[in-house]
Structure 1
Amino acid sequence: MTDPFPLVVFDLDGTLAETAGDLMGALNHVLSLDGLPPLPVDQARSLLGAGGRALIRRGFASAGRPLDENRLEDLFRRFLAFYEDHIADHSHLYPGVVAAMDRLEADGFAFAVCTNKLEGTAKRLLAALGVADRFKVICGQDTFAVSKPEPGALLGTIARAGGDPARCVMVGDSRTDIDTAKAARIPCVAVDFGYTDRPVATFEPDRVISHFDALADAVGSLVGTL
């Protein structure tokens, strides 16, 4: 028997792609519906990373405005509609993503996505960015009964991809991703340019990289220890 293929599971927003401009644009759209002022894109690091509903909650909290659950659900529907109409107006893959995937693929790796975006929205964005077909599966907040940081989201993604947790590495940009990987007992590479309000090294991932040029070596060093 041969060993199972090694698998790299990526987060999406702030990891594979810079999406803050479009996400904050959608947030500001729904804030305006309740007469709230727009928030600058440079606040994205502290607001993004837990999905659309959490983003809207955080936006209202920043404005000091209470938000009940019924209104949240209405605004979330409006947020999704606006966002999907503008899903890649400003979003783009980070430099080096495609080259890093090419190198890892040549070394026998396969890829998956585990994000707190809705699954359909994640697939639409990755298609717009031209890389959806690179992933065995793209799993989102609504794919499983749980979402990150619950380990079941990551373990479920690995299972759907046909991978083995013993031959897997997670790549993310936030405490949510690192906590998920630790709970699932999967090694984690963190990028230091994503959406987090504290330095990502604070959360003690196994490796930290500052450019995708370093990803293949970081992942290879971890898979070699599995």
Structure 2
Amino acid sequence: MKTVIFDLDGTLADTSADLIASANACFRGLGYGDVLDPLGDAHTAFRGGKAMLSLGFSRVRPGFTEEDVMAQYPVLLEAYAQDIDTHTRLYEGAAEAVEALRGAGYAVGVCTNKPEDLADRLLTRLGVRDLFGSMIGAKTVGVSKPDPKPYLAAVEEAGGILAQSFLVGDTETDRNTARAAGVPCALVTFGPDGDGVAGLVPEALLSHYNELMQITKELIG
């Protein structure tokens, strides 16, 4: 089957505010208060928990170490698990676009660097988990994007064929994943990086999910 694989954070859903809140919970626990800004630091939120912690520590603890980040990472995950969908919303038209792909005979799946259990929980809370034929998260196959193995696993689990697939994402990590897997990539322009993702030279730019079907036909037929 022809297959479309989606990143999650910043691609299917705007998760930035809840991600930032989980990192700020760590810094409050350390006595620093809310170090990160939900709007200004949204682009870092989409690059993962460790990136958020590193940014926060750079502001309050010069000379911080990797050990500082790793000590707080489990705290962040726990805080995030407790409030995973307080502010998170699917991007406009995302669910409808995925349903349209399924109706047209395409396989669809998710490949994210969010831990698989959290990704599964979030999509379930958002009411769309059953739309996706695969769910590959961080370390599900032992490595994370931009290594191509998670993408390959997402395509296979969805019942697809690599040569007739592409990745929808929002960051350089997704661009590099697609390149490593030898498949096209469409990057969304409604994330915090906006039209700046054009500089990553993806095969397509997605400004709204109502464009997804046409882009899909152009990239994999």
TM range (shorter): over 0.9
Residue aligning to 1:175: 172
Aligned with residue 154 of structure 2, among 146, 154, 157: 157
When normalised by structure 2's length, the TM-score is 0.93
2:112 alignment partner AA: T
Alpha-carbon separation, structure 2, partners of 1:167 and 1:108: 13
2:54 alignment partner AA: R
* Post-superposition offset of 1:181: 0.5
After superposition, residues 206-217 of structure 1 pair within 5 angstroms as 206-217=203-214
1:71 counterpart = 2:68: yes
* SS class of match (2:113): coil
2:200 alignment partner AA: F
Contact 1:49 1:176 in 2 (8 A): no
Moved over 3 A (4+): 62-71, 195-198
Aligned with residue 12 of structure 1, among 8, 23, 26: 8
Residue aligning to 1:102: 99
Alpha-carbon separation, structure 1, partners of 2:131 and 2:168: 15
1:205 counterpart = 2:199: no
Contact 1:174 1:194 in 2 (8 A): no
1:223 counterpart = 2:216: no
Q: How many residues align?
A: 220
* Post-superposition offset of 1:187: 0.6
* Post-superposition offset of 1:120: 0.4
Contact 1:174 1:195 in 2 (8 A): no
After superposition, residues 93-172 of structure 1 pair within 5 angstroms as 93-172=90-169
Contact 1:148 1:180 in 2 (8 A): yes
* SS class of match (2:5): strand
Alpha-carbon separation, structure 1, partners of 2:174 and 2:192: 11
Q: Which moved more, 1:214-223 or 1:63-72?
A: 63-72
Q: Which runs of 5+ in 2 are unaligned?
A: none
Aligned with residue 82 of structure 2, among 60, 80, 85: 85
* Post-superposition offset of 1:99: 1.4
Alpha-carbon separation, structure 2, partners of 1:78 and 1:44: 19
Alpha-carbon separation, structure 2, partners of 1:174 and 1:62: 24
Q: What is the Cα-based RMSD across aligned positions, in Å?
A: 1.7
Alpha-carbon separation, structure 1, partners of 2:194 and 2:23: 18
After superposition, residues 43-82 of structure 1 pair within 5 angstroms as 43-82=40-79
Q: Which moved more, 1:191-200 or 1:120-129?
A: 191-200
